[in-house]
A = this chain, B = another copy of it.
Amino acid sequence: MDKITIDDIARALGVSKTTVSRALSGKGRISDSTKKRVMEYAREHDYKPNVMARGLAQSRTYNIAVVTPQENSDVNLAFFHRCLVGIVSETEKSGYDVLITVERGNRIDELERIIRNGKADGVILTRTFFEDKRIDYLRQNQVPFVVVGSSQDSDVIHIDNDNSGGSRQMTDTLLKKGVKKPALFGGPKEHMVTTQRLQGFMQAVSDNGMEVDDSLIFMNTQGDDVMPDDIDKVLKAGADCIFCMDDDIADRALKICHEKNISVPDQLKLASFYDAPILSRNIPQISAVTYDEAVLGMKAGESLIKIINGEAVHDITVEKFEVMLRGSTF
């Protein structure tokens, strides 16, 4: 495990460092023969470039930074972790490693340290605040970055799930399977996802030639105290299915139904626009739209590296989701 350097190779092969460097990096013209020789020698002797040296020379770190929230719900954790796995697997292909930093509120300290210290070439943000200081900072300092998920900022690169598409398809599927009068339990109005999921829902309803009863649309239900009352209203109005915007809302709705002795799915069906392990652990299991966050992470990593390399990129909506029909909607 004696570290062999570019110089060793040069000497061993009787060429110059420059030649070796060129052969290895593929930049500049060299004869195929010497290139082959170099490559082979490098492989045989298991040559690994010294990242620090390369970094110093090209002022690159071959690291990207990913910011994770400090406090996190189970759902977000799972989301983040799957994303991370995608990011790592994609970026390591290009020789990049992932530096993790913990966000502490809407502040830029951690990020600033990493950037100013030159420890990363780009940043992936996985959750953004309303007026995100980090975005401002990154933009001002021309640091390459992408955002996973949606945010208000329109002129940053977003990599997101097809939230409206998934919600639309879930809604559509259930309407076609016989749901006559749907209700909707929504999330935080200020979140983009909420808007997107609402859109998808509305779209599906109108696609099926139906109309939505406004009184059956409840927003900001995450953590409110009135869900039990809302469910009563829903039933009284004759609705037969509640679409919940996320797993947490769906989980709570099911618990309340249990308490009220409302039979799911017989009296009322229940579906979630976002899946999570708790949903399939319930009795009955709750139908939900499943997204593949690893893909999200991969795309994010790919885009970021392109930006770092000066290529142009644009927003990506990952059109990969699956409508999982389970016991709660049979």
Contact = CB atoms under 8 A, between A and B. Distances in A.
A78 B72 CA distance: 9
A249 to B, nearest CB: 14
Interface stretch (A13-21, A116-124, A309-317): A116-124
Contacts of A61: 51-52
Contact of A51 (B1, B48, B49, B117): B117
A235 to B, nearest CB: 22
Interface residues of A, number: 46
B63 A52 contact: no
Contact of A98 (B48, B70, B77, B100): B100
B92 A50 contact: no
A63 B99 contact: yes
A220 interface: no
A116 B51 CA distance: 10
Contact of A118 (B50, B68, B100): B50
B117 A100 contact: no
Contacts of A56: 50, 52-53, 55-56
B78 A74 contact: yes
Interface stretch (A82-90, A147-155, A175-183, A200-208): A82-90
Contact of A99 (B46, B68, B98, B255): B98
Contact of A1 (B46, B77, B98, B141): B141
A59 B50 CA distance: 10
Nearest to A50: B118
A101 interface: yes
From A62, A88, A89, A114, residue with most partner B Cβ within 10 Å: A88
A98 B51 CA distance: 16
Query: How many identical chains are in the complex?
Result: 2
A59 B78 CA distance: 36
A86 to B, nearest CB: 10
Contacts of A223: none
A70 B85 contact: yes
A97 interface: yes
A61 B55 CA distance: 11
From A72, A100, A116, residue with most partner B Cβ within 10 Å: A100
A210 interface: no
A7 interface: no
A77 B84 CA distance: 12
B102 A99 contact: no
Contacts of A29: none
From A46, A84, A141, residue with most partner B Cβ within 10 Å: A84
18 contacts: A50-B56, A51-B61, A51-B118, A52-B52, A52-B56, A53-B56, A66-B100, A68-B84, A72-B81, A74-B74, A77-B81, A89-B102, A92-B113, A97-B114, A98-B99, A98-B100, A98-B101, A99-B100
